[in-house]
Amino acid sequence: MDGYHKLSLYGIKIYACIDVYSRYIIWAYVGISSAIAVSYLFQFLETLRIRGIQPRFVRSDRGGETTRMANIQWNLRQVDDPEIPLNQCWMFGTSTSNQRIKAWWAQLSKVRVCA
């Protein structure tokens, strides 16, 4: 899970979540800066609800939005395992370590829109 910040200067935020193993894009969100914190969390929870899944763990950098999401993931996992520590359901790493999503961002930035 990561954000694409090339358009942040214009108030546009893009976030996406990718399955590391299949490289399937689970969800992507484009929105304005002022609404991003709530929308980002909503996308995560709505995906879990629609797919009927609960990931064993999620990996992201330690951004403001992802810290909130990590707490939600941890609380959801504690329903089944009250003793589970945070580091067994959310892995924080550097943004550059999110190689799968970074590769997708690179492909996205190479796409040219033809009018």
Res 95 pLDDT > 70: no
Domain ranges of the chain: 2-110
The predicted-structure confidence for 15-38, as pLDDT tens digits, reads as follows: 888 887 787 888 888 887 656 667
Res 70 pLDDT > 60: yes
41 residue type, one letter? L
60: Cβ contacts below 8 Å, ≥ 6 apart: 1, 2, 66, 69, 70, 90, 91, 92, 93, 98
Q: Of the ranges 5-9, 31-35, 87-91, 109-113, which one carries the lowest mean pLDDT score? A: 109-113
Res 77 pLDDT > 60: yes
**Residue environment code for 55-88, b if the CB has 16+ CB neighbours within 10 A, otherwise e:** beebbbbebebbeebbeebbeebeeeeeeeeeee
